[in-house]
Amino acid sequence: MCGIVGYIGPRDATPIILSGLKRLEYRGYDSAGLAVLQDRHIEIRRDAGKLARLNALVDEAPVSGHIGIGHTRWATHGEPNARNAHPHLGMTGEVVVVHNGIVENFQELRAELIAVCVIFKSETDTEVIVHLVERYLSSETSLAEATRKALLHLRGAHGVVVLSSHEPDKIVAARIGNAGGVVVGIGEGEMYVASDLPAILEHTRQVVFLESQDMAVVTRDRLQVQTMQGHPVAYQVQNVPWDPVSAEKGEYRHFMQKEIHEQVRSLTDTIAGRVDFEEGRILLPELNLSPELAKRMRKMFITACGTAAHAGMVGKVLIEQIARLPVEVQIASEFRYSDPIVDEDTVVLAISQSGETADTLAAMEEARGKGATLWSIVNAIGSQAMRIADGCIAMQTGPEIGVASTKAYTAPLVDLYMLAILLGELRGTIKEKDRQLLVSDLRRVPALASECLNREPEIEKVARSLLNTQHCLYLGRGINMPTAYEGALKLKELSYIHAEGYPAGEMKHGPIALIDEEMPVVVIAPRDPWYEKMFSQIEQARARGGTVIALATDGDELVQTSADQVIWLPETPWMLSPVTAVIPLQMLAYHIAALRGLDVDQPRNLAKSVTVE
């Protein structure tokens, strides 16, 4: 996962950057680099591999100066090698950039830049940024203004830090969307910039977190913040307390809220290194999926518990649709005792954030005993579910502290989407053109998640309206039926409100009797293939006096006029809609619980890792 550190001040920037990057090492990365302004000349050291390699480079060819930026990269576009490692230098050698996020429209921008004779030296999407900044930079246009203008061209969510030998007393940093934060640390005659607090906490506790769409112009003793439209912003300096837990929570009240917001970054990292956007291909080498196995496979079981099982239900729709492989989802605590019909042509896929859930591990053992191929999707590196599988997709979410799972739900949704595409290709069930379209949709996922997060204030308003409710129904259909289950699970585990997720079509077979003025109904109705059916659910619930909170796609006037309240979703390709539909539901449950003053991160009776049967 990408990390950024920058320094400006009287001390040597190199060791400060190296030690800051070291503190971000736990996030995982595949290359690292730094750029330091030495005698008005930008010096870069970077390579694939770990920080030890960067340290060795710096030892071999020392570099020092009073201003510099560093980066750890988790490859998205272009393999992890020295050429693709950040920082990226422009053609004149006078501007250098580090970046977190995905430039969604980088191919268009790259083509436009090549047409005006820009020469690219890497395969990264990031490189377009430095060339754009350079093109705007002139004697009349400052680095800040050139960066601002350049960033307006980008689609997606980004954290960007720029420096130039033209203005050797300045670092420019921007946060667009939620692709990881940007924090500025204020010292005595010195300043720091970082993607994450731990990188700078050894130097200062006085920090300013940039809001989305804000840009910071940082000199040794001054910080100016402005919007991407160029309007000045009054910022607040926060004093981060000394205890490590508060420090780790950063700008958020609870770990859960932080983890909800980390989804843009975790989704970027989920895609990183696993997608060849040029060829429109998915790469999941850790799964050990041979073409022979893909063709021989006759059935897949997905087994998991709770939230992870809901991810599996979405996976079933995706894999059946794209790879035409029958998938059965079975709760792990049932699978182990159900004498499942499993043989050597069956793949059993376990999903678990902790990788230590007793029921899931027992289900895996059961499958192993019957000769199945065993795969897992796991967050905790080195956990049992990772070790005993024949192939594993490691979620790239980083540690999840909040007991209620959030980012470890959306990451496997994308993993399963990628798996479905790969299986579809190997089994010959998907046309090349369709595969390329599905792959290119992945590029939009982080920015779509970011758009959902930007709508948090509206979700909080809905949360206030539901504060005193006793019960709540969540309805969904098709690929978003599991979204209803997951929304209801989040609400009950966090707020202790009784909530049920239901397949919308089943309402008329019984649960409709529950609907009255006291029963809010959350209807998940994005524009997916089940939209019209969902719309009629709104009508049915309203006709019985129920209060309807609808999740609908931006601009859906029909839903707006029918529902009591609408939670708006950005237009999303339907196979990825469970990602954007669940984020507001996570925020809704979070805010209801926080407003009720409950222990959001450690709800009663729950454990992060359920290691008992």
Check residue 256 for interaction with ligand AGP (CB under 6 A).
no
306 near ligand AGP (CB under 6 A): yes
Q: Does 305 bind ligand AGP (CB under 6 A)?
A: yes
- Minimum Å gap between C-beta 354 and ligand AGP is 3
Distance of alpha carbon 54 from alpha carbon 206, whole angstroms: 29
Binding pattern to ligand AGP, positions 511-550, x when CB under 6 A? ----------------------------------------
Q: Does 307 bind ligand AGP (CB under 6 A)?
A: yes
Q: Quick one: 402 or 446, whose CB is closer to ligand AGP?
A: 402
Binding of ligand AGP at residue 602 (CB under 6 A)? Answer: no
Asked if 141 and 132 count as a contact pair (C-beta separation under 8 A), the reply is no
In the complex, minimum distance from the CB of residue 612 to ligand AGP, in angstroms, rounded to a whole number: 11
Q: Rule CB under 6 A: which of 489-508 touch ligand AGP?
A: 493
Interface with ligand AGP, residue 609, by CB under 6 A = yes
Q: Which stretch binds ligand AGP (CB under 6 A): 299-307, 363-371, 424-432, 544-552?
A: 299-307
Q: Mask of contacts with ligand AGP, 336-375, x by CB under 6 A?
A: ----------------xxx--x--x---------------
308 binds ligand AGP (CB under 6 A): yes
Phi, psi of 343 (to 5 degrees): -140, -165
Residue (of 569, 493, 560, 573) closest to 529 by Cα position: 573
The Cα diameter of the chain in Å comes to 77
Task: State the Cα–Cα distance between residues 414 and 42, nearest whole angstrom.
Answer: 39
CA distances from 165 to 10, 67, 134, 169, 189 (A): 17, 10, 12, 9, 20
**Closer CB to ligand AGP, residue 177 or residue 306?**
306
Q: Cα separation of 157 and 151, whole Å?
A: 10
Q: Smallest distance from the beta carbon of 377 to ligand AGP, in angstroms? A: 9
Q: Of 205 and 608, which has the nearer Cβ to ligand AGP? A: 608
Nearest to 413 by CA among 441, 372, 381, 385: 441
Contacts by 235-242, CB closer than 8 A, 24 or more apart: 235/208, 236/208, 237/186, 237/206, 237/207, 237/208, 238/206, 238/207, 238/208, 238/209, 239/205, 239/206, 240/197, 240/201, 240/205, 240/206, 240/207, 241/205, 242/205
Query: How many C-beta neighbours within 10 Å does residue 273 have?
Result: 18
Q: Are the C-beta atoms of 161 and 147 separated by less than 8 Å?
A: no
Residue closer to ligand AGP (CB basis): 214 or 262: 262
Binding segment (CB under 6 A) for ligand AGP, from list 110-118, 119-127, 252-260, 302-310: 302-310
Of 66 and 407, CB closest to ligand AGP? 407
Total residues at interface with ligand AGP (CB under 6 A): 16
Catalytic residue of the set 2, 305, 452, 472: 2
Closest CA to 586 of 101, 249, 261, 176: 261
Whether 392 sits among the annotated catalytic residues: the reply is no
C-beta of 305 vs 524, nearer to ligand AGP? 305
Site string for ligand AGP, 372-411 (x = CB under 6 A): -------------------------------xxx------
Name the closest residue to ligand AGP (Cβ): 306
533 is annotated as an active-site residue: no
Burial of residue 608, with CB atoms counted within 10 A of its CB: 0-12 exposed, 13-18 middle, 19 or more buried: middle
Neighbours of 284 (CB within 10 A): 19
Nearer to ligand AGP, 403 or 418 (CB): 403
Report which of 438, 494, 502, 509 is spatially closest to residue 463, judged by C-alpha positions: 494
- Residues 2 and 80: their CA atoms lie apart, in Å, by 12
Contact residues toward ligand AGP (CB under 6 A) are 305-308, 352-354, 357, 360, 403-405, 493, 606, 609-610
Point out the residues that are catalytic.
Answer: 2, 608
